[in-house]
A and B are shown apart, each in its own frame.
Chain A
Amino acid sequence: MSLKVNLSFNGGMELLFNNLKQKTVEIPASMNNSNPTTMKDLIRWIRDNLLQERPELFVSGETVRPGILVLINDADWELEGELNYEVKEADDIVFISTLHGG
């Protein structure tokens, strides 16, 4: 079983992904035993499969580095349960760095 999700990297985030701004990826529907894939799993998956350089600028522990905004289907992920959100088919997930430029 797998899920297709649309990822976007904005605000300078794309620089860590070889200038990749958007990509639809296929991820396992379950990564942690038989539990549904959560944002926590997805972030680890992105780090291991897509990230090109300097993982410390993307992840901090199990979550994204403070200062990176995450939107799930155009809503602040803080409204969606953050790391515990269960990823669904065709979700749009956006990572925006706020740490670049003024």
Chain B
Amino acid sequence: MSRLCVICKEERASVKRPKTGEKLCRNCFYHIFETEVHCTITDNKLFKSGDRVAIAASGGKDSTVLAHVMKTLNDRYDYGLDLFLLSVDEGITGYRDDSLETVKRNQQQYNLPLKIVSYSELYGWTMDEIVKEVGLKNNCTFCGVFRRQALDRGAVMLNIDHIVTGHNADDIAETVLMNILRGDIARLERCTEICTTGDGRIRRSKPFKYAYEKEIVMYAYFKKLDYFSTECVYSPNSYRGHARAFLKDLEAIRPSAIIDIIYSGEAFQIKQDVKLPTQGAESWIAERKIHGEMPENIATMLHFDQLQIEEGSRKNESDKDKKREEGEEKGEKNEW
């Protein structure tokens, strides 16, 4: 039969790899997928022995597969990492409460310590309450900024050195496209970085940077991993939705499109002598006014800051500045 795995040449092929077109049996597919992630980790020297590493776990497919693969590789290659699951409870009824149940099951299945930090505990607000207050216009922007900060705070509580997120190749290619479509050259340069360091201490990285979504989903399906797959009740970011649909159309015609777009993003460099607008909050606001879209974001953010002040929240001025700066990172996909 012509359907044999191209590697072992014994088993029947079950997957056609999008990146290479190779026909693989399940076991060779697992091996290749895991080994590629291992190479991504070692080539980029993401960790060192003894690191305390938190897996940002949403219960969705990417982070569930990431937890499984990180645990597998840590055991197989003796990375010497202390692994943790770190989840954020945004307070979204009918969505996050259910997905956190999945994370709790993962905690048992992978035998990893789990820490959940919640918006209500950190900020005194749940996403449900925020949406009631600000409506559905910019809620995803808020949620992304808050989640990023919540993960950092949770990581500090656990004395974490490094946070890994489940962003995959498709997510990163989408972000490259979106930054091009928005003319956002500064983020375009940054968005393909595999590892970033926030304010000093905690590193963040994306071990699935080169892993296709199709492979992640196939891996989860064949391994029967327990993941949660409901769209957030507060609706997806429609701009990203269009970029995603476009990317999927391209992938259907030419599967290498995803990795090619990432390479293009990586190769994009601005000449040393070209001056970019400064990235302070003021210039960010000024710059965004041109587009006519973001001022609402800013207004909503300021409004929210105001609400927090009125609520006598424990946030101080420097926290607010930080939050606005972190808002700049929103080029990244919101989900983990």
Interface residues of A (CB under 8 A from B): 10-12, 15, 65-67, 69, 71, 74-76, 78-79, 94, 96-102
Contact = CB atoms under 8 A, between A and B. Distances in A.
Contacts of B63: 102
B159 interface: no
A76 B218 contact: yes
B252 A101 contact: no
Interface in B182-225: 213-214, 217-218, 221-222
Interface in B1-57: 3, 12-16, 23
A65 B248 CA distance: 9
A12 B12 CA distance: 28
A66 B217 contact: no
Nearest to B3: A79
Contacts of A101: 58, 60-61, 99, 228-232, 335
B320 interface: no
Interface in B62-78: 62-63
Contact of A69 (B167, B218, B229): B218
Nearest to A74: B14
A12 to B, nearest CB: 4
B249 interface: yes
Contact of B248 (A10, A67, A75, A78): A67
Point out which of B63, B230, B333 has the most chain A C-beta atoms below 10 A from its C-beta: B230
A55 B269 CA distance: 42
Select the residue from B166, B217, B333 with max chain A CB neighbours within 10 A: B217
Contacts of A10: 221, 229
A102 B218 contact: no
Interface string B160-176: 00000011001100000
Interface in B132-182: 166-167, 170-171
A45 B61 CA distance: 29
Nearest to A68: B248
A71 B14 CA distance: 9
12 contacts: A10-B221, A12-B231, A66-B245, A67-B245, A76-B16, A76-B218, A98-B213, A100-B230, A101-B60, A101-B61, A101-B231, A102-B333
Contacts of B15: 75-76, 79
A96 B230 contact: no
Given A12-B230, A67-B248, A78-B16, 5 more contacts: A12-B229, A65-B248, A69-B218, A79-B14, A97-B229
